[in-house]
Structure 1
Amino acid sequence: MSEHTVDLTAETFEQTTGAPGLVLVDFWAEWCGPCRNFAPIFTATAQKHPDVVFGKVDTEAQQELAGRFEVQSIPTLMAFKGGVVVHRSAGAMPAGRLEALVKSLKSVDVDAVKRAEENKKLTEQGIVPPGVHPDAEWDEGDSEWVHGTTDAKGRKQGPFKYWRADGTLCNECVYENGKPHGPFKRFHESGEVSQDGEFVKGDIHGPRAWYASEKYTTERMHENGVSLSVRKTVMTYDHGRVVDVKHYDGQGRRVVPSTGEPYPDRPKGVPLEAEYREDMNQWSHVNLDVAGERHGLSRFWLPTGELLWEAEYVDGSRQGLFRSLANDEYQDPRVRFDEGRFDQGEACDAWTLLDEDRAVVLSRDLGVAQFEEELSASQVLSNLPRPASAWREYAETCLKARKHREALLAMARAVASDQQVAPMLELLERVTLPRTPRNARGTAAEVLENASNSWEAMAGALVRGGDAGMLLRACAVLLDQSDKPRAALDFVNAALLLSPERADFLFTRGLILLNMGLDAHALKDAEGLKKAEPDSASFLGAYTRSLFPVFDFWPAKETPHSTYDNLPEAPAQTLMAIQRVVQKYATRLQKIRTELQGRFKPGVSLPWMPPDMSALLPQGPVELVEDEVEVGEESVSVDESLAVAGVGLPDLIRFARGDWSALTWLLWSCGETKLVMPKKVISPENFGHAAGMSSQRLWRARDRRVTGGRGAKASGAASFEFEGVDIDAVPSQLVGIIEQHYSETQAMFYWLADSDNVSPWQDNLRGS
């Protein structure tokens, strides 16, 4: 025996696991994260049990062993006694569970395990094993043998027993008219009771107890973080609904389930019906409805017994009175308590801040509650611009109706229009709770973590005193994602005016500007980020350059080179086929250009706009095909179509970038140096290198995305620059742009180099 783990191989495995003592084997691999996390736990447990052998099998080096035991996922833990497998489980175990498992496995009777395995084989053959009633039938759904009687209607009636596949009794209960009714028991494999309780007409009612066992068992008890020190758990049910849970140690003392420590003494003032919540370190009393939702008065106390908060609920939503302790939450240090009302979960109406003696320090009217449907349809979230005066007028209209949430959002848009911050600050002072800066940030952060896609939640957090800059910036993000970039820009500008110190808001604005096609403005924000957030500045700059290229003749900037073998020597497609495909690329690019131009005012000059393709389309756009075609002996799908309506500007530019790259390299392959329809095919000498380069760069981009560049590093693959940045230095979030760029170019070369192909948009040209 040893206090250390032992590396096992095919040569040593049989001898080691065939020993009479207990042997635990961890099947693992170096690349497996859970395996690496489990390794120190396994080693530490080995040091506690020198009478047990702890072996490790590297599944990469010992593939024959992994295959023999059909190891499908790792880590896999197996236990042997005298060569007999007495336990098997997949997944990493916490230290406490592994420790308990080792102790239970020491007492395992190998002969009993052998009998159990023989019984399982009988079960697999449909043969009732010894120990099971001879008239029992196998239930595939529960994977158990079952025996009992039925009434004239075929319903279960009277006593029933259930056995595991290994022949051990697992459950006995009583049925009445097809429903469990009366006492029941479950059993560990050892025969000890694992559960007992009572059913009433199909529902568990009254106390239901779980009992731990020191012996090996498949019955579960210590789940969801329950400490191994817990030896008995009692749940009290009210006709199927849990109303109380208590945990006890081996001496029958009530304990905290997560730690097994003694249950705390109840402080004075905390009622008997309240329970200690160790996950919150609070006492609580919560009433639930039949669906298990909070209903009625819910109350929470600190460990000292001081009331923390109480609120009225209706079907899971706060509705009515709310009171809470409010230490260090509000700007006025005298405030000790706050109280107010909720309507369907939203704070509303008059809220009062109170001092130690419950004297009023301050009152605020939070207005009426406004919900998702109303807010999402509000004109304050419209993408159409308005002058500041119009937004302020709208805010006043909302205030008269006590729609304070909407008024704040309207005022934010006014601030963005004329950059007059004072009216916004005055309104915040009038209609929101005055929290400390730290608490305001925490209030906003909690909402943004859980409900950043909800206007109701974010606007509600505004009136409750959440950090206005953070919340308005989040509104900007949601609007940008909803294809309302003009409104988004207003909100992020308002956020910056309220919180000019927040450099990260510049990053948000930069992304919004890119979605509006304002690349020069985005680059200015990238410049402004350099000192405070250099990484964000670098990303924003790289994203801008990647998203808004200059659409000139790109092959003129490249010297094609590839290290691939078996490169094509010349185009295999006919001039007529090439001209047809040139017009398809031109049609797609013209479609993108038209869509982009429709999003800006007529006459606006945009340096990144894809060029006019009309010279290549003298007869107008050509048909873009969607069809199934035969290529050789294979049926492939062709989809030349391009949907542009409702597509975000960045995605449109990515489409244009891929098609432009493919088009210009196609023209280059015919000997052209500018955007003209080829009249003949005179391919450059390095045609094959250009085709190989597109594939090689696509592979490098995919390797960077999937493995982080490990494959390229291992193979020594050549690097390349994309928009002036080395592929390995490009921010990982932008690698998809590069991949799409070269995917289109590679597909074009695949088509061009094989006369059997009918279109660059064949699905079989886009795999590798």
Structure 2
Amino acid sequence: MAGVPVELTPEDFEAVTQKPGMCVVDFWTSWCEPCHAFAPVFAEAATRFADITFARLDAETHESVAEPLGIDTYPTLVAYKDGLEVHRVSEALPADALDRMLTALRAVDVAEQKRRAENRERTEAGQPPPGIPEDATWDDGDGEWSSGPKDAKGLPHGTWRYWRADGTLCNECIMEHGRPHGPFKRFHEDGSVSQEGAFEQGQLHGPRTWIASESFTTERMHEGGVNARVRKTVMHYEHGAVRHVQHFNGQGQRVVPSTGEPYPTRPAHLPEDAELREDLNQWTKVTLNADGERHGLTRFWDVQGQLLWEAEFEDGRRHGRYWSRAEKTYADFRVHFEEGRAEGDLACGEWSLMDAQRAVVLKRDLGQAQDERTLARSMVFSNLARSAEGWRELAKVARAERRYREALLATARACATSLDVQPLKDGLEELTLPRTQDSAREVADDVVQGAGRSWAPMADALMRGGEAATILRAYAVLLDQTDRPRAALDFLHAAMLLAPERKANLFTRGLILLNLGVADQVRKDAEGLSSVEPDTAAFLATYARALFPRFDFWAGQEPPRCAYDGLPEKPAQSLEAIQQMVRRYATRLQAMRGALLQRFKPGASVSWLPPDLSGLLGDGPVELKQYELAGDDDDLVEVDETLDLEMGLADLTLMLRGDWSALSWLLWSCGETSFRMPTRVAPPADYGQAAGQASQRLWQSRDRKFRGNASTTKPGQGFLFEGVPLGDLHPNLVSIAERQYAETQAMFYWLNDPDHVSPWQSNLRGS
């Protein structure tokens, strides 16, 4: 029916698309939201273009049609004329862009399209199409033929031309000893100009103009959110640096690039080169360096032309004077403006807060601008413990040298150590800019979200009045992630002293305490969270059990079972090989146990440490090796039995957990029920079930990890991991289960195949 899209099937697809005339097919899927949004746009266009056949195909239901056509994104529109595909686009087009595409379809010359297709076949065969010089060379990277004169050194010199694979001219420029120099033009497939401009010694200089085409073209213009109604764009360069950009519609009227609407009238008092920032609805005047970074004075005005802020920049960073409006930003309601200096994006020196008449309400010295490298190496982030007096002394020295950032951070650690928060509150009041609560939270949240893994920006936000409790907590997280849990705990305790009502800090403290091995306190923090954040509390408690389990003989505590067929009946390795492997596991576990014990003070009681396994070693630890061997198809397989004992405590305990599980099941497989060296291989009757269970649980863990709620294990289902069904585990905890069963499976793979030499072969970690 004319004016109504046809629903295609594999049976009628070819008949509809190959008949004479014009046809456009919308390939869609039921789960694709843009497809559903585009459907009415497509249907409405069908009523306006009665001479074109509109059709739709459910690409998922009819994969046999879509896949051979290379349709893998949705929606995809494919245009046909007289049975020949002439254009495709993989996006949901707005109505005006769709109309423009359909209008271009009417103008397509099928004979020309066939000629271009033949030329592409010649290019694929390595032969220049007709019209391209025989000496032209093909560049796979650019996808173009090129030809032109060269200088004595063989460098392009003179007028060079470039052609697409289909034989159409795409570029013409003047080269001077290998670099573009002089005017250039690019062309659409129909021969009309798509770009023109000029180079000066290899750099774009002057206006560079893009001109849209009404025909189908591979030349790109409407990228980066530029509306299809933009028909010309002029970008002004100064020796490679973009100075400003202008967009025009088909009538030559300047327009806003994202909408194609008429460009607003610039307030008369603004500079002529001030441009509208659409995303902010603000006017701006920005100068850039050759790398496109802000350099020099930058100014922003609101849409009415009122100056909002201005700052001096140096190679992309604020450096020099800064001025801004600041109504409702500071605790003193009289403040309307702020003014100060910055170095490398960091506030420093004297800052002034001024009233509506520009009279100074408050002046504050923000001290030195301490950059990322300086702060990252500061003693205030040391993991070594100090007394409160020691931290106060460090703060005193830093303050005398105007290193106020370090002074405040050292004071925070002193307060955490002494549990007296008043000196920190006093320091913040004396040294930082006094913002309103809302503004302080906004500054803190912004820096944590944008630069929460950097030392200097967060300290800078603290000086500018960002909420201290939020920033100190962020420092605690960063320190914990960089294996400085003692320092992290100090900063978190300072944050908790400033904001004792925030229960979320208990969760952060729990994670830090886990990295310190203080399992009992973690359990208490989980209990404190349970009434307000039960899910978070459950995660913390389960994580604690996963890191610090009860290290007894895990194997055989529950009857092993799995759903796999073809399971082995007994181990394939010899008793001697098994005994050697038991010694390797015991050597690794003893090394990890010793490394963990060294992290505590001599004589400290660490209740969760695994038992001493030296009884399995006889003459002492064995050598742990790292080497390569030939695998299947001559691929190299890496064997690495060595240990990295410098990793964080949590990572070390998780590695220990995997080895503990593997050793338990290795001994169980010989008939043992405790950690003693086996003297015979007497596997239990359900040995095969145990081997299969390791692989099945690893598969289930990986399925849950990567597919989440779409996995085959639903909430409340699956094997128990530390008392929690796999289907209820948080993704981070699923990763721990995955790691444990990967090690256990690798051990069984080795145990069941005499050709394997070690459980630590790199090819034994698959699912």
Q: TM-score scaled to structure 1, two decimals?
A: 0.93
Structure 2 residue aligned with 1:236: 236
User: After the TM superposition, which residues 319-718 of structure 1 pair with which residues of structure 2 at under 5 Å, given as runs?
Assistant: 319-628=319-628, 637=637, 639=639, 641-708=641-708, 710=710, 712=712
Q: Distance in 1 between matches of 2:342 and 2:425?
A: 25
Q: Superposition RMSD on alpha carbons, in Å?
A: 2.7
After alignment, is 596-605 or 182-191 more displaced?
182-191
Q: Residues 177 and 730 from structure 1, CA distance in 2 versus in 1: closer, same or farther, beyond 3 angstroms?
A: closer
Q: Distance in 1 between matches of 2:180 and 2:412?
A: 62
How far 1:710 moved relative to its partner? Answer: 4.1
Structure 2 residue aligned with 1:44: 41
How far 1:355 moved relative to its partner? Answer: 0.6
Q: Distance in 2 between matches of 1:696 and 1:25?
A: 45
Tell whether the 8 Å contact from 2:46 to 2:54 is kept in structure 1 after alignment: no
Q: Distance in 1 between matches of 2:138 and 2:261?
A: 41
Q: Residues 547 and 202 from structure 1, CA distance in 2 versus in 1: closer, same or farther, beyond 3 angstroms?
A: closer
Tell whether the 8 Å contact from 2:526 to 2:541 is kept in structure 1 after alignment: yes
How far 1:75 moved relative to its partner? Answer: 5.4
Structure 1 residue aligned with 2:80: 80
Q: Residues 555 and 150 from structure 1, CA distance in 2 versus in 1: closer, same or farther, beyond 3 angstroms?
A: closer
Q: Residues 235 and 627 from structure 1, CA distance in 2 versus in 1: closer, same or farther, beyond 3 angstroms?
A: closer
How far 1:575 moved relative to its partner? Answer: 2.7
1:285-338 CA distances to partner (integer Å, 9 max, x unpaired)?
Answer: 122333333222221111121111111222322222111111111111111000
Aligned length: 763
User: After the TM superposition, which residues 105-144 of structure 1 pair with which residues of structure 2 at under 5 Å, given as runs?
Assistant: 105-125=105-125, 128-130=128-130, 132=131, 137-140=136-139, 142-144=142-144
After alignment, is 305-314 or 271-280 more displaced?
271-280
Q: Distance in 2 between matches of 1:558 and 1:459?
A: 53
After alignment, is 160-169 or 89-98 more displaced?
89-98
1:583-623 CA distances to partner (integer Å, 9 max, x unpaired)?
Answer: 22111111110000000012222222111001212211122
Q: Distance in 2 between matches of 1:580 and 1:47?
A: 75
Q: Residues 545 and 340 from structure 1, CA distance in 2 versus in 1: closer, same or farther, beyond 3 angstroms?
A: same
Q: Residues 478 and 266 from structure 1, CA distance in 2 versus in 1: closer, same or farther, beyond 3 angstroms?
A: same
How far 1:392 moved relative to its partner? Answer: 1.4
1:87-145 CA distances to partner (integer Å, 9 max, x unpaired)?
Answer: 13456656664454333223322232223223333444455545x36567244254444
How far 1:638 moved relative to its partner? Answer: 6.2
Q: Distance in 2 between matches of 1:545 and 1:374?
A: 39
Amino acid paired to 1:734: L
1:461-482 CA distances to partner (integer Å, 9 max, x unpaired)?
Answer: 1101111111111111111111
1:188-228 CA distances to partner (integer Å, 9 max, x unpaired)?
Answer: 22333222333444443322222222222222211111111
Do residues 736 (structure 1) and 757 (structure 2) align?
no
Q: Distance in 2 between matches of 1:514 and 1:432?
A: 33
Q: Residues 68 and 296 from structure 1, CA distance in 2 versus in 1: closer, same or farther, beyond 3 angstroms?
A: closer
Give the 3-state SS of the residue equivalent to 2:591 in structure 1: helix
Amino acid paired to 1:169: L
Give the 3-state SS of the residue equivalent to 2:607 in structure 1: coil
Amino acid paired to 2:740: H
Tell whether the 8 Å contact from 1:628 to 1:635 is kept in structure 2 after alignment: no
Give the 3-state SS of the residue equivalent to 2:462 in structure 1: helix
Q: Residues 311 and 755 from structure 1, CA distance in 2 versus in 1: closer, same or farther, beyond 3 angstroms?
A: closer
Structure 2 residue aligned with 1:745: 744
Q: Residues 708 and 204 from structure 1, CA distance in 2 versus in 1: closer, same or farther, beyond 3 angstroms?
A: closer
Amino acid paired to 2:112: A
After alignment, is 635-644 or 103-112 more displaced?
635-644
1:391-445 CA distances to partner (integer Å, 9 max, x unpaired)?
Answer: 1122111111111000000011011111111111111000000111111111122
Q: Distance in 2 between matches of 1:494 and 1:192?
A: 68
Tell whether the 8 Å contact from 1:526 to 1:541 is kept in structure 2 after alignment: yes
1:8-67 CA distances to partner (integer Å, 9 max, x unpaired)?
Answer: 33321110101333322344556xx7x443343245223322334443444554444345
Tell whether the 8 Å contact from 1:186 to 1:195 is kept in structure 2 after alignment: yes
After alignment, is 696-705 or 44-53 more displaced?
44-53
Tell whether the 8 Å contact from 1:485 to 1:516 is kept in structure 2 after alignment: yes
Q: Distance in 2 between matches of 1:155 and 1:629?
A: 49
Structure 1 residue aligned with 2:300: 300
Tell whether the 8 Å contact from 2:5 to 2:46 is kept in structure 1 after alignment: no
Tell whether the 8 Å contact from 1:636 to 1:764 is kept in structure 2 after alignment: no
Q: Residues 218 and 728 from structure 1, CA distance in 2 versus in 1: closer, same or farther, beyond 3 angstroms?
A: same
Q: Residues 124 and 654 from structure 1, CA distance in 2 versus in 1: closer, same or farther, beyond 3 angstroms?
A: closer
Q: Distance in 1 between matches of 2:156 and 2:634?
A: 58
Q: Residues 604 and 351 from structure 1, CA distance in 2 versus in 1: closer, same or farther, beyond 3 angstroms?
A: same
How far 1:152 moved relative to its partner? Answer: 5.8
Give the 3-state SS of the residue equivalent to 1:257 in structure 2: coil
Q: Distance in 1 between matches of 2:260 and 2:252?
A: 12
Give the 3-state SS of the residue equivalent to 2:677 in structure 1: coil
Q: Residues 630 and 401 from structure 1, CA distance in 2 versus in 1: closer, same or farther, beyond 3 angstroms?
A: closer
User: After the TM superposition, which residues 6-17 of structure 1 pair with which residues of structure 2 at under 5 Å, given as runs?
Assistant: 6-17=6-17
After alignment, is 210-219 or 52-61 more displaced?
52-61
Give the 3-state SS of the residue equivalent to 2:692 in structure 1: helix
Tell whether the 8 Å contact from 1:163 to 1:171 is kept in structure 2 after alignment: yes
Amino acid paired to 1:753: N
1:218-270 CA distances to partner (integer Å, 9 max, x unpaired)?
Answer: 22211111111212111222233222211112222211111112222222432
Q: Distance in 1 between matches of 2:220 and 2:542?
A: 53
Task: Give unpaired runs (5+ residues) of structure 2.
Answer: none
Q: Percent identity?
A: 53
Task: Give unpaired runs (5+ residues) of structure 1.
Answer: none
Q: Residues 167 and 285 from structure 1, CA distance in 2 versus in 1: closer, same or farther, beyond 3 angstroms?
A: same
Amino acid paired to 1:187: F
User: After the TM superposition, which residues 245-264 of structure 1 pair with which residues of structure 2 at under 5 Å, given as runs?
Assistant: 245-264=245-264
User: After the TM superposition, which residues 94-105 of structure 1 pair with which residues of structure 2 at under 5 Å, given as runs?
Assistant: 97-105=97-105
Tell whether the 8 Å contact from 1:703 to 1:709 is kept in structure 2 after alignment: no
Tell whether the 8 Å contact from 1:230 to 1:247 is kept in structure 2 after alignment: yes
Structure 2 residue aligned with 1:18: 18
Amino acid paired to 1:599: R
Q: Residues 511 and 98 from structure 1, CA distance in 2 versus in 1: closer, same or farther, beyond 3 angstroms?
A: farther
Q: Distance in 2 between matches of 1:648 and 1:183?
A: 60
Tell whether the 8 Å contact from 2:479 to 2:488 is kept in structure 1 after alignment: yes
Amino acid paired to 1:38: C
After alignment, is 91-100 or 200-209 more displaced?
91-100
Amino acid paired to 2:720: E
How far 1:639 moved relative to its partner? Answer: 3.0
After alignment, is 68-77 or 108-117 more displaced?
68-77
Tell whether the 8 Å contact from 1:38 to 1:93 is kept in structure 2 after alignment: no
Structure 2 residue aligned with 1:280: 280
After alignment, is 589-598 or 303-312 more displaced?
303-312
Q: Distance in 2 between matches of 1:646 and 1:18?
A: 67
Amino acid paired to 2:38: I
Q: Residues 628 and 321 from structure 1, CA distance in 2 versus in 1: closer, same or farther, beyond 3 angstroms?
A: closer
Give the 3-state SS of the residue equivalent to 2:244 in structure 1: strand
Give the 3-state SS of the residue equivalent to 1:353 in structure 2: strand
